[in-house]
């Protein structure tokens, strides 16, 4: 857990050995404490260097230990002993120094970092704060404004930035450990008191209150309802206004509150869920660790519309050469300009040069003979997509992977028109594709393990969080979205307003409520889909009883809004009104109020007062209920995958952990009871009927979300 060696005759080299990130587990803390005691008591030792094995200093506390009671020595006394020691201690930072790892470096008297190292206090992203003295030492070392920013955002910084801020003493391109040993030898005999960060006085700006107030406003706006950043600000205030020992006490009080909160559990669940999601499995037994992805050097993207452009950028910026295809010269030229502009802006932001030389533009599929992989992003029209896939099948070499970005069409139907169904899969990006982190990799029944491995690995290369999903209408994310959107519009019929529903969802933690979000995305997209699927249109409307379609309750209000040319922000009118098209400031529109009142009186609906609780329950319980059905159907392998899809694709608030984690925290029994209640009240809404899996889990005593998989195993997996 920590190796102890004597090097250069007088330097004790302590190497943390806890792969993969040298986390500070109980045995590691114990080993550090013992090694330090040995180094401090051995007269041969004049200085100490602490480093981490395999080029990684330390990834912080062992997060897996947070779920159980504290075992082994607590971290703070171990760190205090290092700082108080009378022999110089140098941290040799390679790879990462994060969280407790950074705090370990802060108690060392000197810090040498490799130029590629990254440092940070990401505790806030786990719903806690740097509570091994980090919130008290960092402000003393670099001042309030810089410390406040790093602690409240959890941002990782480069070694160069750490040097500029005064966090590290030296940055090297060479072996940081060897440099640290040399440095340690030179430090012997030099006074250490000024090197003990806890002894420093925090440089306190005159406008401290204003500064902290501004930070509070900012985090409240950015992370609605999240406790951790606010607690971080209070801890930093303590560093500015209290002596170190009292500040540590305050840090500990704040940590106790956060550590025991549901929010911290949610954040930590998200951390592991994100990592679990990459571990896909197919019913054949093929999985992430036994299937080899192909290397993709060249790709083609067909269709340079909203999605295609972002996909081209995502590929080109990770060094993949791309041939982009459009159907007409003008559209091709327009697409080219857009892609180049996006790539240039992206490169400028990242401080690199734009990889324009990787781009080629064409009107002919014939030019795709030699590419390794194709991503089709033409209109959502099955007949068109089939034509494209047939042609690709003829043109591309037999080993080329053919992927579709369809938002919900049958991937296997597309595979069926090719001469290589095993090489076909869905790669469902989210809009804007170069920004959004989520990628659903849709596994058709005939997709080979190599195809899935390649799509997953390509997603990772592009910086996406890739989740393998089954092939069903809407896949996972969009399939769940439909009942959620339906509930929001049913609530409008029953008496709520868009503002009220949005506010309830925003108070829950969403950055934007469902109606504001729909205005941003454009209301015409869904309208077109509803028309194509026979849910609305003059013919359909006149043939069906009002407010019913395909045997179930249907709310035509969204169609009525679109019929008025209100397509959202882009037209300056939607569920809200905007000062001008493209404006983002949503204001309640009396015309919508009017439309709702007229609608209700036409259908004899007596509006009622709807509580925020009902809004949350109906919208979010129905969302999770569909998630349970997806698990039953085997279209997602585990609840964590569904949560990751909602966190990264639909901005579900992270401090709630995702829809499935959220309902597990509410209590499955309560969720079941409320769904039964709402289903009784609205028997014509099948989505409100509790799913078999939810009932089964409740009958089995509502196990925690991490255990649900054991109850799903027997169901029919497509993954």
Q: Which residues are catalytic?
A: 103, 123
- Chain Cα centroid distance, residue 89: 37
Distance CA 9, CA 465 (A): 48
Q: CA neighbours within 13 Å on the CB side: how many for 582?
A: 0
Four-point Cα dihedral 690, 443, 282, 64, nearest 10: -70
Continuous segment of H or E residues that includes residue 441: strand 438-443
* Identity of the residue, 45 or 63, whose beta carbon is nearer to ligand CAA in the bound complex: 63
Q: Please pick, from the candidates 12, 39, 119, 132, the single residue that binds ligand CAA as defined by CB under 6 A.
A: 132
CB of 384 to ligand NAI, least distance (A): 6
CB of 380 to ligand NAI, least distance (A): 3
Distance CA 302, CA 323 (A): 8
From ligand CAA, ligand NAI, none, which one binds at residue 619 (CB under 5 to 8 Å depending on kind)? none
Asked if 369 is part of the footprint of ligand CAA (rule: CB under 6 A), the reply reads no
CB of 634 to ligand NAI, least distance (A): 23
CB of 393 to ligand NAI, least distance (A): 14
User: Do you know the residue count of the chain?
Assistant: 719
Asked if 691 is part of the footprint of ligand NAI (rule: CB under 6 A), the reply reads no
Q: Please pick, from the candidates 1, 45, 63, 665, the single residue that binds ligand CAA as defined by CB under 6 A.
A: 63
CB of 519 to ligand NAI, least distance (A): 14
Distance CA 326, CA 682 (A): 47
Q: How many residues bind ligand NAI (CB under 6 A)?
A: 23
From ligand CAA, ligand NAI, none, which one binds at residue 126 (CB under 5 to 8 Å depending on kind)? ligand CAA
330 to 349: interface string for ligand NAI, x by CB under 6 A: -x------------------
Asked if 59 is part of the footprint of ligand CAA (rule: CB under 6 A), the reply reads yes
* Identity of the residue, 59 or 627, whose beta carbon is nearer to ligand CAA in the bound complex: 59
Instruction: Say if CB 101 and CB 72 are below 8 A apart.
Output: no
Q: Please pick, from the candidates 9, 20, 538, 590, the single residue that binds ligand CAA as defined by CB under 6 A.
A: 20
Tokens of 110: 């000197």
From ligand CAA, ligand NAI, none, which one binds at residue 407 (CB under 5 to 8 Å depending on kind)? ligand NAI
- List binders of ligand CAA among 259-298 (CB under 6 A): 272, 275
Q: Please pick, from the candidates 26, 274, 327, 706, the single residue that binds ligand NAI as defined by CB under 6 A.
A: 327
Distance CA 649, CA 98 (A): 27
Signed CA dihedral, 216, 221, 226, 229: sign only? negative
From ligand NAI, ligand CAA, none, which one binds at residue 306 (CB under 5 to 8 Å depending on kind)? ligand NAI
Signed CA dihedral, 145, 151, 155, 158: sign only? positive
Asked if 347 is part of the footprint of ligand CAA (rule: CB under 6 A), the reply reads no
- Chain Cα centroid distance, residue 700: 31
Q: Please pick, from the candidates 85, 100, 133, 509, the single residue that binds ligand CAA as defined by CB under 6 A.
A: 100
Candidate segments 59-67, 375-383, 470-478, 613-621, binder of ligand CAA by CB under 6 A: 59-67
* Identity of the residue, 75 or 215, whose beta carbon is nearer to ligand CAA in the bound complex: 75
Q: Please pick, from the candidates 2, 46, 62, 338, the single residue that binds ligand CAA as defined by CB under 6 A.
A: 62
**Nearest-10 crossing angle of helices 622-632, 668-681:** 110
CB of 512 to ligand NAI, least distance (A): 15
CB of 424 to ligand NAI, least distance (A): 15
* Identity of the residue, 126 or 663, whose beta carbon is nearer to ligand CAA in the bound complex: 126
From ligand NAI, ligand CAA, none, which one binds at residue 624 (CB under 5 to 8 Å depending on kind)? none
Backbone φ, ψ for residue 403 (5° rounding): -120, 155
CB of 93 to ligand CAA, least distance (A): 13
Q: Please pick, from the candidates 99, 127, 247, 690, the single residue that binds ligand CAA as defined by CB under 6 A.
A: 99
**Nearest-10 crossing angle of helices 514-521, 523-532:** 80
Give the closest residue to 512 by CA, choosing from 527, 523, 526, 501.
501
3-state secondary structure 191-253: CCHHHCHHHCCCCCCCCHHHHHHHHHHHHHHHCCCCCHHHHHHHHHHHHHHCCHHHHHHHHHH
Backbone φ, ψ for residue 489 (5° rounding): -80, -30
Contacts of residue 41, defined as CB under 8 A and 6 or more positions apart, other chains included, come to none
Distance CA 480, CA 482 (A): 6
* Identity of the residue, 243 or 463, whose beta carbon is nearer to ligand NAI in the bound complex: 463
Asked if 122 is part of the footprint of ligand CAA (rule: CB under 6 A), the reply reads yes
CB of 12 to ligand NAI, least distance (A): 56
Instruction: Say if CB 658 and CB 277 are below 8 A apart.
Output: no
CB of 640 to ligand CAA, least distance (A): 11
Four-point Cα dihedral 215, 216, 218, 224, nearest 10: 150
Asked if 108 is part of the footprint of ligand NAI (rule: CB under 6 A), the reply reads no
- List binders of ligand NAI among 388-417 (CB under 6 A): 388, 405-407
Continuous segment of H or E residues that includes residue 6: strand 2-7
Q: Please pick, from the candidates 431, 544, 706, 717, the single residue that binds ligand NAI as defined by CB under 6 A.
A: 431
Contacts of residue 545, defined as CB under 8 A and 6 or more positions apart, other chains included, come to none
Distance CA 106, CA 250 (A): 19
Tokens of 621: 């319980």
* Identity of the residue, 403 or 697, whose beta carbon is nearer to ligand NAI in the bound complex: 403
Using DSSP bridges, classify how beta strands 552-553 and 548-549 pair: parallel, antiparallel or unpaired: antiparallel
Asked if 325 is part of the footprint of ligand NAI (rule: CB under 6 A), the reply reads yes
- List binders of ligand NAI among 353-382 (CB under 6 A): 377-380
Contacts of residue 536, defined as CB under 8 A and 6 or more positions apart, other chains included, come to 527, 530, 549, 556, 559
* Identity of the residue, 113 or 592, whose beta carbon is nearer to ligand CAA in the bound complex: 113
From ligand NAI, ligand CAA, none, which one binds at residue 586 (CB under 5 to 8 Å depending on kind)? none
Distance CA 553, CA 481 (A): 17
Candidate segments 125-133, 369-377, 421-429, 559-567, binder of ligand CAA by CB under 6 A: 125-133
CB of 444 to ligand CAA, least distance (A): 27
* Identity of the residue, 33 or 126, whose beta carbon is nearer to ligand CAA in the bound complex: 126
Contacts of residue 593, defined as CB under 8 A and 6 or more positions apart, other chains included, come to 497
From ligand CAA, ligand NAI, none, which one binds at residue 377 (CB under 5 to 8 Å depending on kind)? ligand NAI
CB of 643 to ligand NAI, least distance (A): 20
Instruction: Say if CB 439 and CB 590 are below 8 A apart.
Output: no
Q: Please pick, from the candidates 5, 37, 54, 64, the single residue that binds ligand CAA as defined by CB under 6 A.
A: 64
- List binders of ligand NAI among 285-314 (CB under 6 A): 302-308
**If 0-12 CB within 10 Å is exposed, 13-18 middle and 19+ buried, where does residue 503 land?**
middle
Distance CA 595, CA 588 (A): 13
CB of 52 to ligand NAI, least distance (A): 41
* Identity of the residue, 213 or 532, whose beta carbon is nearer to ligand NAI in the bound complex: 532
Order of strands, sheet of 118-120, starting from the edge strand that comes earlier in the sequence: 96-98, 118-120, 157-158
Q: Please pick, from the candidates 13, 21, 79, 517, the single residue that binds ligand CAA as defined by CB under 6 A.
A: 21
- List binders of ligand CAA among 643-702 (CB under 6 A): none
Signed CA dihedral, 200, 203, 209, 215: sign only? negative
Residues in touch with ligand NAI (CB under 6 A): 302-308, 325-327, 331, 377-380, 384, 388, 405-407, 429-431
Q: In the complex, which residues of this chain contact ligand CAA (CB under 6 A)? A: 20-21, 23, 59-64, 75, 96, 98-100, 122-123, 126, 131-132, 272, 275
């Amino acid at each position: 857990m920590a190796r102890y060696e004597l090097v250069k005759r007088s330097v004790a080299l302590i190497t943390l050995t806890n792969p993969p990130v040298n986390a500070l587990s109980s045995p590691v803390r114990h080993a550090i404490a013992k090694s330090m005691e040995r180094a401090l008591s051995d007269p041969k030792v004049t200085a100490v260097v602490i480093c981490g094995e395999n080029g990684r200093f330390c990834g912080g506390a062992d997060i897996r230990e947070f779920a159980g009671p504290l075992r082994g020595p607590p971290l703070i006394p171990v760190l205090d002993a290092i700082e108080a020691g009378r022999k110089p201690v140098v941290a040799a930072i390679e790879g990462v120094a994060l969280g407790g790892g950074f705090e370990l470096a802060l108690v060392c008297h000197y810090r040498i970092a490799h130029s590629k190292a990254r440092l940070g206090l990401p505790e806030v992203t786990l719903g806690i704060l740097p509570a091994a003295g980090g919130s008290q030492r960092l402000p003393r070392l670099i001042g309030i404004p810089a410390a406040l920013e790093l602690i409240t955002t959890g941002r990782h910084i480069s070694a160069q930035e750490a040097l500029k801020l005064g966090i590290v003493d030296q940055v090297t391109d060479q072996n940081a450990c060897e440099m640290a040993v040399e440095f340690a030898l030179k430090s012997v005999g030099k006074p250490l008191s000024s090197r003990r960060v806890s002894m420093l006085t925090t440089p306190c700006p005159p406008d401290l209150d204003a500064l902290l107030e501004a930070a509070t406003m900012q985090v409240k706006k950015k992370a609605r309802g999240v406790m951790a950043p606010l607690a971080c600000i209070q801890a930093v205030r303590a560093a500015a206004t209290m002596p170190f020992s009292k500040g540590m006490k305050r840090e500990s009080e704040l940590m106790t509150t956060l550590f025991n909160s549901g929010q911290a559990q949610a954040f930590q669940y998200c951390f592991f869920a994100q990592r679990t999601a990459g571990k896909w499995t197919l019913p054949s037994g093929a999985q992430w660790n036994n299937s080899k992805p192909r290397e993709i050097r060249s790709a083609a993207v067909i269709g340079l519309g909203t999605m295609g452009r972002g996909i081209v950028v995502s590929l080109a910026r990770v060094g993949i050469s791309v041939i982009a295809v459009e159907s007409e010269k003008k559209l091709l030229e327009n697409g080219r300009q857009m892609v180049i502009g996006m790539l240039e802006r992206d490169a400028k932001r990242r401080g690199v040069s734009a990889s324009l030389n990787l781009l080629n533009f064409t009107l002919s599929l014939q030019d795709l003979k030699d590419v390794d992989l194709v991503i089709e992003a033409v209109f959502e029209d099955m007949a068109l997509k089939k034509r494209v896939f047939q042609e690709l099948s003829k043109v591309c070499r037999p080993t080329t992977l053919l992927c579709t970005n369809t938002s919900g069409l049958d991937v296997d139907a597309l595979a069926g028109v090719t001469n290589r169904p095993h090489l076909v899969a869905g790669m469902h990006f989210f809009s804007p594709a170069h920004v959004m982190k989520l990628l659903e990799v849709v596994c058709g029944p005939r997709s080979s393990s190599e195809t899935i491995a390649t799509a997953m690995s390509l997603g990772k290369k592009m910086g996406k969080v890739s989740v393998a999903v089954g092939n069903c209408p809407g896949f996972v994310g969009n399939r769940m979205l439909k009942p959620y959107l339906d509930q929001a519009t049913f609530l409008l019929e029953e008496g709520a307003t868009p503002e009220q529903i949005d506010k309830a969802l925003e108070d829950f933690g969403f950055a934007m409520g469902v109606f504001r979000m729909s205005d941003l995305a454009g209301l015409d997209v869904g309208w077109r889909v509803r028309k194509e699927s026979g849910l609305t249109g003059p013919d359909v409307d006149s043939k069906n009883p009002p407010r019913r379609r395909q045997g179930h309750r249907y709310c035509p209000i969204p169609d009525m809004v679109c019929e008025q040319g209100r397509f959202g922000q882009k037209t300056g009118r939607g569920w809200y009104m905007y000062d001008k098209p493209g404006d983002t400031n949503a204001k309640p529109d009396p015309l919508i109020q009017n439309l709702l009142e007229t609608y209700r009186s036409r259908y004899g609906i007596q509006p009622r007062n709807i509580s925020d609780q009902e809004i949350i329950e109906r919208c979010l319980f129905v969302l999770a209920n569909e998630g349970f059905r997806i698990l039953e159907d085997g279209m997602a392998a585990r609840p964590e995958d569904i949560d990751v899809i909602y966190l990264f694709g639909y901005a579900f608030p992270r401090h709630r952990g995702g829809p499935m984690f959220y309902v597990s925290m509410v209590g499955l029994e309560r969720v079941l009871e409320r769904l039964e209640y709402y289903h009784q009240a609205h028997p014509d809404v099948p989505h409100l009927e509790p799913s078999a899996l939810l009932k089964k889990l409740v009958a089995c005593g509502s196990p925690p979300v991490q255990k649900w998989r054991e109850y799903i195993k027997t169901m029919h997996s497509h993954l």
